[in-house]
Amino acid sequence: MKAASVPMGRFLNYRVAAWGATLIVLGILPWGGISPNLTRLLFTSLVWVITSVAWSLLGGLTGQVSFGFAVFYGLGAYTAAMGINAGLDPLAAFAISGVVAAIASLLIGLPTFRLRGPYFAIATIGVSEAVRVVMTNLSFTGGASGYRIAEHGTFRPLEHYYTALGVAALAVGTSAWVHQSKFGLSLLAVREDEEAAADIGVNPLKTKLLVHLLAATLTGIAGGVYARYAAFIHPDGVFGFQTSVAILLMPIIGGAVTVAGPVIGAFVYGFVQEELVAAFPQFHLLLYGALLIVIILFEPGGVVGWLGKLWAWVKRTRRKSALASVG
């Protein structure tokens, strides 16, 4: 037992070191003379990292697949947009975005979390579409013609970039904490069996509401950060079904039950989408649909699971060749 704990501890340190290195690289990258286009790409990927990590807490760890995260993303975007237009400090506006999304998560979660598994998933499609239709018709937000953010002063891409990086780091940190905490264990318990979880003193409804709230807050802030950058938002974009789908696909493709999986999924999605959208506007979703089928059928662990298997295979063959050379 003791022997096993030493490499485990070392492994943990490797992880912390890897995350720190990633953060430092992302932090100094904009100063390394990269093109504005790459900065923009990194910015969008970082916003996706936030939503992807947030979704993985509910969809991966807790096993509640939601098709409705565009609601939080859109509410966050509109709240931040209106706050900034009203003269609020952007950071304060983002905070309010998070609060609004958190309140929405309670309003949605209270009725829908009585449903289980696929029924919950279907209900979230309904909520998301209903909210989108209402936002398309609401007059004080400009309805279908969208909403513009009028910010005075020059456009500073790096400010947006570091905001996104900061929130993404916060999201990953939160996720890493949840993964090793007692709260994370109760999420897993709810995922595996709600009745059994209740028997050992975990309140399933409370747990689900809490993680939903956490995920919604992060997603709402992400929507706000994106809205300030884009300066123009419209219901079919931020509240669109495609947004919900994107937020769901990234963590599943990366591996939704890990800390790193959703991050990898978000970067892959951000970059691949950008490359493919220019050439074939629809091709990337076709690709992701196919990828989703493959992942469900063959590797539910996503990219991270696949990498893990690859690593195990490499280790096995290495040991074999080592044995062969000794023998």
Partner 1 sequence: MDAADYVNLIVSALLLAGIYAAMSVGMTIVYGVMKIVNLAHAGFLMLGAYFVLELYERLNIDPLLGSVLAFPVFLVAGMLVHWLLVRRVPVSDQPTLASLLLMFGLWLVLQNLGYLIWGNSDRSILTPRTLSSIHFGPITVPTVRLLVFIPAVCSLGLLELVLRKTWYGRAVRALMQNRYAGRLTGIPVEKMARLTFGVGIGFAGAAGGLLAQLYSFSPDFGRGFLLRSFVIIVLGGLESFWGAAAGALVLALVETFSILVLPAGYQPAIAFSLLVVALVLFPGGIAGIFAKKRRWA
Residues that bind partner 1 (CB under 8 A): 63, 65, 111-112, 114-119, 121-123, 125-127, 129-130, 133-134, 136-137, 193-195, 241, 245, 252, 280-283, 285-286, 288-293, 296-297, 300
Judged by beta carbon, residue 88 or residue 125, the one nearer partner 1 is 125
Query: Which stretch of DSSP H or E encloses residue 79?
Result: helix 69-85
CB 70 within 8 A of CB 38: no
CB of 117 to partner 1, least distance (A): 6
Judged by beta carbon, residue 181 or residue 242, the one nearer partner 1 is 242
Judged by beta carbon, residue 231 or residue 276, the one nearer partner 1 is 276
CB of 248 to partner 1, least distance (A): 9
Judged by beta carbon, residue 179 or residue 191, the one nearer partner 1 is 191
CB of 108 to partner 1, least distance (A): 9
> What CA–CA distance (Å, rounded) separates 18 from 12?
10
CB 121 within 8 A of CB 67: yes
The pair of structure tokens assigned to 299 is: 């590797």
CB of 180 to partner 1, least distance (A): 25
In the three-class reduction of DSSP (H, G, I as helix; E, B as strand; rest coil), residue 137 is classed as helix
The pair of structure tokens assigned to 298 is: 């063959």
φ, ψ for residue 65, nearest 5 deg: -75, 120
CB of 295 to partner 1, least distance (A): 8
DSSP 10-41: HHHHHHHHHHHHHHHHHHHGGGGT--HHHHHH
CB of 177 to partner 1, least distance (A): 26
Judged by beta carbon, residue 143 or residue 308, the one nearer partner 1 is 143
Judged by beta carbon, residue 83 or residue 109, the one nearer partner 1 is 109
CB 223 within 8 A of CB 94: no
